[in-house]
Structure 1
Amino acid sequence: MVRPDPDELLPPPIVRRWTERIDRFAGAECADLFAVAIRRTLARTLHRLDDGTVFVVTGDIPAMWLRDAATQMRPYLALLGATGPGELPGLAEMIGGVVRRQFAYIAHDPYANAFNAAPNGNCHEPRDLGDDPWLWERKYEIDSLCFPFQLADQLARATADTAHFTAAFRAAAGTAVDTLTVELDHENLSSYRFVRPDTIPQDTLPRDGRGAPVAVTGMTWSAFRPSDDACVHGYLVPANLMAAHTLDLIAARLGVADELAVRARSLAAILRAGVEAHGVVAHPHHGEIWAYEVDGLGATLLADDANMPSLLSLPLVAGIDPADARYARTRGFVLSPDNPYFYRGALAAGPGSPHTPVDHVWPIALAVAGLTTADRSESLRLLRTIAATTAGTGHVHESFHVDDDTRFTRDWFSWADSMYCELALRVAGYPQAL
């Protein structure tokens, strides 16, 4: 593996240009953190493999999450769009290498969430079911089948280059469509199981790895949330909406008459109808909103998690208009104490997660809130909040305590760095790609 030169991918004059612009709009503290974070992901997470594809570590864990690798690239896509791919050919080519590596992983095992750079047997927990040496972890999460295709589409829109839509894209897309279709009827059609012995409930599935019972609803089943915590009820509503949007993107790249495109569009319609029938609830304070999880048997979880895809992030990952009335009501719920994972303190207020301690908010969620509001002053306030709560480390952490940012989780979380950088670019005048 070879690490690319970050200065060749993103020349210092371009970093300085945007750093100075962020300084004018948001101040030196925000600009200084941007300058460090935008370079750190390029300098420390990228590894070019012998086949020319690019392996991306998530930060302080030496594995490539399909979700994280895609979201880590988001600010660089914005820079490509703002600067022009002709000025940053190395950056565009590098992201293409990430996409090709993700396609290979999906084709290898669509149920895995995190992979090794080689079949070396490294893994998070050796007692998990399965012995594939390529897999770091095999927690099935719908978003793992969505983010890579969204990254591919975003790259094409930023550069007008479609060279990465190859046979490998089609193979991965077919695998994703097949898997999402099987999981429409998890109880009867799926062979997926996940068991982690002697652990907390969030890290394993009940019923010998099958998960809690679900009915057939038209939604596709997920074992785990994007936090890597087990789903409680099986049907993760924001992930289903993300999947529907992703299937439409896949279909558009394949062509109207293509058989796989027809299947993808049909499945997208089934998922949306399933969400509409089972994933929408009437909240006593907020009105009609999307639930976070349901099981089709009557159980509903009204909450939101800090990780994407979340209800809050639907404009970023699911093509939902930020002005959509149901989204506005759902957003009001998420950013209120009615959300059981919303925390408020002296330093910050925002969504947290059962994945991290109580009273810890996630900078990723703060950035998402800033990227999905039309209020630029709110975006600026959230950017400054993130920059002011690094505990002097110069790192955007996974989470921090709302009253004490020295109480944080994960020393280095590249996804959080990238979401901060994307928000900084938006505050500095470049709109994010929804």
Structure 2
Amino acid sequence: MKRRNFLVQSSLFTAGALAMPQNIVAASQDKFISKRPSLADRKFVSEEVENVIKKVKLVIRDEEIAWLFENCFPNTLDTTIDYEIIDGNPDTFVITGDIDAMWLRDSTAQVWPYMSLISKDEKLKNLVKGLINRQVKCVLLDSYANAFYKDKTKISHWKSDQTQMLPGIHERKWEIDSLCYVVRLANEYYQITKDDSIFDEDWDNAMRLIVKTFKTEQRKNNESDYYFSRSTTSVIDSPPFGGTGRPVKANGLICSMFRPSDDSTMYPYLIPSNIFALLSLNQLSIIYRNVLDENEFATICEEMSEEVDVAVKKYAISEHLNYGEIYAYEVDGFGNKLFMDDANVPSLMSLAYLGAHKLTDDIYKNTRKFLLSENNPYFLKGEFAEGQGSPHTGKNKIWPMGIILRAMTSTDNEEIIKCLKMLKGTHAGTGFMHEGFNKDNPKEYGRDWFAWANTLFGELILKIYKENRSLLALKF
């Protein structure tokens, strides 16, 4: 099954759902029955997560929003976790949902909303520690791959892929953010727990390989031997020129052949991912200097972070006719720039969510205004919703993830309420988030089991609960 191409047709809906008014796509009051697996069938149970669900639901006035939160927030734990002890250490494999493989990006994002609870729940703490261990194994297997199998002997079903594929790898699409998420998880785990046992020899080797890969993909001397070519009818499923990507003019930025959507880049310098990388390099420099007392490598990370930062400011910021200085989405170093965004993380919209910008920073505010305007070709408006889409899902599908990130990066209560109303009105009665839905018909959606989107919705509600609780007392 293709990762992001599982289309659910209206024929799959129950007669009750089909009988709903055409201008309202929501579960009726008598349908708010938990969609979670039975307790015996859940993959992992955290008492702290269960306590949070009960506590937050008590203050949510809107029954449907409360139902969505109960279904979505624990979805990663309920359905995607494979946890065990291997060689005396915790090991956690996290599938993305409807595909039996683990993405480095998705797995970190899927457990991220639980991070604030790990100091209170030893089981949950070990789950995250196990995921760090598993991600290290993946990076050491191949730092260019984006998705892996738990079984290291398994051969990928992508038989037509022309690349240096190894057993145990599901897909080998080079995406900067895959490695950034590995750093992000380890850093956050340590900041919360101060457990430095994760920084073992394998972790150290993996981090040095990550930095080496970043340096190679700066392509200052055309030293990269990465290529990826797939037999496909989709022009965005494989980079051009034999899978090596379009030409770039070396300037300190890091090439990424693919976006977080797993689509190939148009111009290889993907700006949100480069900004994510400079954050990750800075985090590594602090860990190596302050925790591991490895000043030489810390300096290497710090200098590369500064180099990428300077290049981003020089090559990725342009004066827009209507919005002032904004970020381009992709550039090539020759002066060519692509202005759009992709409803994923990292994205330009998500820069404040990732911590790269404050919500009040002018460059971020200007960019955000552009992203939510008709000048962004992938900001879509339809009968049921408006929001960011992605070339990955065509010209008519809005991503719930984009709506969620819009709400998470907003300081406007009315905008947040608008986003919640759209999320409530477009889940097609399923009780879960999806990858994308038709802007004029939410019953036409992709991926009915997308754990990251589900858990991210839970993260949004939890953020509102902590920072703006009065909004949850409203009926949407």
Which range, TM-score by smaller chain? Answer: over 0.9
Q: What secondary structure, in the 3-state scheme, does the structure 2 residue paired with 1:420 have?
A: helix
How far 1:124 sits from its partner (Å)?
A: 4.6
Structure 1 counterpart of 2:122, from 71, 89, 96 = 89
Q: How many residues align?
A: 421
Rounded Cα–Cα distance in structure 2 between residues aligned with 1:386 and 1:53 = 34
AA aligned opposite 1:76: Y
Q: Does 1:266 align with 2:299?
A: no
- Structure 1 residues 282 and 14: alpha-carbon distance in aligned structure 2, compared to 1, 3 A threshold: closer
Rounded Cα–Cα distance in structure 1 between residues aligned with 2:453 and 2:43 = 22
- Structure 1 residues 306 and 5: alpha-carbon distance in aligned structure 2, compared to 1, 3 A threshold: closer
How far 1:15 sits from its partner (Å)?
A: 2.3
Structure 2 counterpart of 1:15, from 46, 53, 59 = 53
Structure 1 counterpart of 2:275, from 241, 245, 253 = 241
Relative to structure 2, which stretch is displaced further, 110-119 or 318-327? Answer: 318-327
| 1:364-421 per-position Cα deviation (integer Å, ceiling 9, x unaligned) | 1111111112224422432332133110111200011222110111111111001101
How far 1:430 sits from its partner (Å)?
A: 4.9
- Structure 1 residues 5 and 400: alpha-carbon distance in aligned structure 2, compared to 1, 3 A threshold: closer
- Structure 1 residues 4 and 30: alpha-carbon distance in aligned structure 2, compared to 1, 3 A threshold: closer
Rounded Cα–Cα distance in structure 1 between residues aligned with 2:70 and 2:343 = 25
Rounded Cα–Cα distance in structure 1 between residues aligned with 2:72 and 2:170 = 26
Rounded Cα–Cα distance in structure 2 between residues aligned with 1:36 and 1:416 = 12
| 1:245-292 per-position Cα deviation (integer Å, ceiling 9, x unaligned) | 111011111115522111111110111111111111111111111100
- Structure 1 residues 78 and 424: alpha-carbon distance in aligned structure 2, compared to 1, 3 A threshold: farther
Rounded Cα–Cα distance in structure 1 between residues aligned with 2:116 and 2:57 = 14
Structure 1 gaps of 5+ residues are none
1:344 alignment partner in structure 2 = 381
2:403 alignment partner in structure 1 = 366
| 1:276-318 per-position Cα deviation (integer Å, ceiling 9, x unaligned) | 1111111111111110001112221001111111000001225
For residues 285-300 of structure 1, the aligned pairs below 5 Å read 285-300=322-337
For residues 19-418 of structure 1, the aligned pairs below 5 Å read 19-21=57-59, 23-24=60-61, 27-51=62-86, 52-80=90-118, 85-86=119-120, 88-129=121-162, 130-185=164-219, 188-255=222-289, 258-418=295-455
Rounded Cα–Cα distance in structure 2 between residues aligned with 1:8 and 1:419 = 18
Q: What secondary structure, in the 3-state scheme, does the structure 2 residue paired with 1:136 have?
A: strand
CA contact (8 A) 1:6 1:39 kept: no
CA contact (8 A) 2:380 2:388 kept: yes
| 1:196-223 per-position Cα deviation (integer Å, ceiling 9, x unaligned) | 1243221112111211111101100000
Which is higher, the Rg of structure 1 or of structure 2?
2
How far 1:170 sits from its partner (Å)?
A: 1.6
CA contact (8 A) 1:383 1:424 kept: no
CA contact (8 A) 1:278 1:294 kept: yes
Q: What secondary structure, in the 3-state scheme, does the structure 2 residue paired with 1:201 have?
A: coil
Rounded Cα–Cα distance in structure 2 between residues aligned with 1:413 and 1:182 = 33
Rounded Cα–Cα distance in structure 2 between residues aligned with 1:338 and 1:11 = 41
Relative to structure 2, which stretch is displaced further, 275-284 or 371-380? Answer: 371-380
Relative to structure 2, which stretch is displaced further, 118-127 or 238-247? Answer: 118-127
**TM-score, length-normalised on structure 1?**
0.92
Rounded Cα–Cα distance in structure 1 between residues aligned with 2:305 and 2:365 = 23
CA contact (8 A) 1:218 1:270 kept: yes
**TM-score, length-normalised on structure 2?**
0.85
RMSD: 1.8
CA contact (8 A) 1:212 1:233 kept: yes
Rounded Cα–Cα distance in structure 1 between residues aligned with 2:73 and 2:80 = 12
AA aligned opposite 1:89: E
Seq. identity, %: 35
AA aligned opposite 2:159: P
Q: What secondary structure, in the 3-state scheme, does the structure 2 residue paired with 1:282 have?
A: strand
- Structure 1 residues 265 and 32: alpha-carbon distance in aligned structure 2, compared to 1, 3 A threshold: same
How far 1:131 sits from its partner (Å)?
A: 3.7
How far 1:127 sits from its partner (Å)?
A: 1.4
Q: What secondary structure, in the 3-state scheme, does the structure 1 residue paired with 2:422 have?
A: helix
CA contact (8 A) 2:341 2:348 kept: yes
- Structure 1 residues 263 and 29: alpha-carbon distance in aligned structure 2, compared to 1, 3 A threshold: same
Q: What secondary structure, in the 3-state scheme, does the structure 1 residue paired with 2:437 have?
A: strand
More contact order relative to length (CA 8 Å, sep ≥ 6): 2
Rounded Cα–Cα distance in structure 1 between residues aligned with 2:346 and 2:82 = 26
How far 1:68 sits from its partner (Å)?
A: 0.5
- Structure 1 residues 187 and 345: alpha-carbon distance in aligned structure 2, compared to 1, 3 A threshold: farther
Rounded Cα–Cα distance in structure 1 between residues aligned with 2:407 and 2:106 = 19
Q: What secondary structure, in the 3-state scheme, does the structure 2 residue paired with 1:184 have?
A: coil
Rounded Cα–Cα distance in structure 2 between residues aligned with 1:279 and 1:198 = 31
AA aligned opposite 1:107: L
- Structure 1 residues 90 and 380: alpha-carbon distance in aligned structure 2, compared to 1, 3 A threshold: farther
Rounded Cα–Cα distance in structure 2 between residues aligned with 1:31 and 1:54 = 29
